[in-house]
């Protein structure tokens, strides 16, 4: 369903389903009851200003009956967010596609405490392109190449590349070195991720996740006194946290990973210690031009500087 309200300040309007019946006379009565923890004056003002609409674009007024519309859309009152001290940069832009370097700590899309402070909203505002939609996602703690569709009419062609696994992605990571491991190493396992559990898990069964790992270079960390490796990773599947889990399973958990192999207590972001994982490149045959393209990150991993 297409929202009857346009994107505002880079943020989509929120959709709400109306109950078919209940103790409420109007749609506004239901909204007031559902959000009884919110200042009711603000909700009433939005209805009175005509900022609540139904699917066909009809204005939902304070007197619109509860069951007149199945869905309504409205703008959330967003809290002021402190700007994250990280910046994204545009690597490529045309009428169909925008490619950016997403920094560590910036989420791909709005969620939880991050709305304006997401790559999507920042980019919509920066480029004044409200139709931008991410074609894939990166974890908030992962940096690197991220693709956005700029044209709704061609969006499906790019999404299909990911669905059919016609994308070649490479990552880089910094992790400890184990002399007994032989590279290149292919890790296969069965992974699951519950909606109610923070971590992804490896379980017994038919493998559904595969990662190829190569050791590119090594260096001794003078502070920690350990040997660190720069790893080249090629995921052949795209399970949640796959790379982090697969490296941890080999005893080489990614540097500064707060989840794997050990879940750390929740703490404020430490911008001096970003997760040492970078989405380094994406390559595919462009479905519009038919040409082979590759987009590479211009970022580097801080624990292995000067090695782009």
The answer to whether residue 121 is domain-embedded is: yes
Among 74, 100, 126, residue at a domain's last position: 74
Domain that holds residue 116: 89-296
Task: Enter the pTM of the model.
Answer: 0.89
The answer to whether residue 233 is domain-embedded is: yes
Rounded CA-CA distance 36/179 in Å is 60
Q: Do 94 and 69 share a structural domain?
A: no
**Three-class HEC string of 203-232:** ECCCCCEEEEEEEEEEEEECCCCEEEEEEE
Q: What is the pLDDT of residues 143-174, one digit of tens each?
A: 999 999 999 999 999 999 999 999 999 999 99
The answer to whether residue 198 is domain-embedded is: yes
The answer to whether residue 307 is domain-embedded is: no
Q: Do 277 and 170 share a structural domain?
A: yes
Q: Do 275 and 141 share a structural domain?
A: yes
- The number of angstroms, rounded, from the C-alpha of 195 to the middle of its chain's C-alpha atoms is 16
- In this predicted structure, what is the pLDDT of residue 76? 87
- In this predicted structure, what is the pLDDT of residue 113? 86
The answer to whether residue 22 is domain-embedded is: yes
Q: Do 177 and 52 share a structural domain?
A: no
Q: Do 172 and 258 share a structural domain?
A: yes
**Which tokens belong to 49?**
């200003």
Q: Do 97 and 161 share a structural domain?
A: yes
Structural element, H or E, at residue 170: strand 168-176
Q: Do 169 and 97 share a structural domain?
A: yes
Rounded CA-CA distance 117/137 in Å is 15
The answer to whether residue 6 is domain-embedded is: no
- In this predicted structure, what is the pLDDT of residue 186? 97
- In this predicted structure, what is the pLDDT of residue 291? 97
Can you give the pLDDT of all 308 residues of the chain as single tens digits? 899 999 999 999 999 999 988 999 999 999 999 999 888 999 999 999 999 999 999 999 999 999 999 999 999 888 888 999 999 999 999 999 999 999 999 999 998 889 999 999 999 999 999 999 999 999 999 999 999 999 999 999 999 999 999 999 999 999 999 999 999 999 999 999 877 778 999 999 999 999 999 999 999 987 777 899 999 999 999 999 999 999 999 999 999 999 999 999 889 999 999 999 999 999 999 999 999 999 999 999 999 987 76
Q: Do 267 and 190 share a structural domain?
A: yes
Rounded to whole angstroms, the maximal C-alpha distance in the chain is 72
Number of structural domains (the chain) is: 2
Q: Do 169 and 64 share a structural domain?
A: no
Q: Do 277 and 186 share a structural domain?
A: yes
- Look up the CATH number of the domain holding residue 256: 3.30.2350.10
Q: Do 178 and 116 share a structural domain?
A: yes
- In this predicted structure, what is the pLDDT of residue 223? 74
Q: Do 138 and 53 share a structural domain?
A: no
- In this predicted structure, what is the pLDDT of residue 22? 92
The answer to whether residue 159 is domain-embedded is: yes
């Amino acid at each position: 369903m297409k929202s009857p309200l346009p994107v505002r300040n880079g943020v989509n309007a929120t959709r709400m389903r109306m109950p078919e019946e209940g103790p409420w006379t109007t749609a506004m009565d239901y909204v007031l009851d559902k959000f009884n923890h919110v200042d009711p004056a603000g909700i009433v003002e939005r209805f009175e200003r005509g900022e609540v609409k139904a699917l066909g674009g009809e204005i939902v007024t304070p007197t619109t009956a509860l069951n007149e519309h199945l869905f309504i859309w409205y703008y959330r009152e967003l809290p002021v967010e402190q700007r994250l001290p990280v910046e994204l940069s545009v690597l490529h832009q045309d009428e169909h596609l925008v490619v950016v370097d997403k920094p560590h700590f910036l989420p791909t899309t709005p969620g939880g405490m991050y709305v304006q402070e997401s790559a999507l909203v920042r980019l919509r505002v920066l480029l004044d392109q409200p139709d931008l939609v991410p074609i894939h996602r990166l974890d908030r703690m992962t940096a690197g190449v991220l693709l956005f569709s700029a044209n709704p009419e061609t969006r499906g062609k790019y999404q299909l590349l990911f669905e059919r696994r016609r994308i070649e992605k490479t990552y880089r990571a910094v992790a400890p070195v184990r002399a007994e491991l032989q590279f290149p190493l292919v890790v296969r396992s069965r992974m699951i991720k519950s909606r109610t559990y923070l971590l992804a898990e490896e379980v017994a069964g038919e493998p559904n996740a595969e990662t190829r790992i190569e050791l590119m270079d090594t260096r001794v960390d003078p502070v920690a006194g350990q040997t660190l490796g720069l790893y080249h990773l090629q995921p052949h599947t795209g399970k949640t946290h796959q790379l982090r889990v697969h490296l941890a399973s080999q005893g080489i958990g990614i540097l500064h990973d707060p989840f794997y192999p050990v879940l750390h207590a929740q703490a404020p972001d430490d911008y001096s210690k970003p997760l040492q994982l970078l989405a380094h490149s994406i390559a595919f045959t462009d479905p519009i031009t038919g040409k082979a393209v590759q987009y590479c990150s211009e970022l580097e991993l801080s624990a292995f500087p000067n090695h782009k």
